[in-house]
Structure 1
Amino acid sequence: MSENFTTRELDIRTGSRETVYDLTRECESFLRDAAHGRDGLLNVFTPHATMGVALLETGAGSDEDLLSALHDLLPADDRWQHRHGTPGHGRDHVLPALVPPHATLPVLAGHLALGTWQSICLVDTNISNVNRKVRLSFLG
């Protein structure tokens, strides 16, 4: 692989309840090792059919607001065709259509070029799978 492209896979434990997991620190740590002060792009990807990546403010209630909105849009009930796992699990398989499993972000001088209140978050409504993988890739 080219020295201009670096990737790392993370193991994340999201817990046994719906969650918005702030991944920003892990992304910054990866860039310290991979970017070496260069400009480029960070790609965040999760290879799961029931999880997404979102940019949002955390800690001020937006993370809970997102989960609440997803509950309204994707109720955990028996309407879903996909019917294995916990009741309503089919909705978890629809989540990535609304919250995609990837994000590509600008990196300037080796640092994430996020807005003041933006954080990189995993959105996980699947309470049956708490062990998750995330692939971080830097191209610069």
Structure 2
Amino acid sequence: VLENLKTGFAVLPRGGRHIPDEVFELFPVLRQMLKRRGGDLSGGQQQQLAIGRALVTRPRLLILDEPTEGIQPSIIKDIQRVIALLRDRGDMAILLVEQYFEFARDLADNYLVMDRGEEVLSGLGADMVEAEVRRYIAV
């Protein structure tokens, strides 16, 4: 896990190469598993590690591609809480690609639904209508 988190150092200047405490505050399980191999973690723990690794780089844009895929419900709630905290902090944009309507609606400031590369719906996250969105997604 530690080695995996350090892969984010490649894009940082030498003086900035440290793992921010925030990563372990957001994902306490990572601190407990620092010496474990990433491949030995559960799917949810691997997803938390992937997000933590991205946060090591201090991004201005965080891209999350289906962060709930294959994850147990309790971990999904943890990931949702972390994404909401990052969103509310306001120092990075978050691009969330997600198939679960409620998860996306609860986190989205704005949304965009595409079908075959074309925009078919967009608006404020709070205004997202499930029946309209479901016409274009397959779970």
State the TM-score, normalizing by the size of structure 1. Answer: 0.23
Higher percent of residues as helix: 2
| The structure with more strand, counted as a fraction of residues | 1
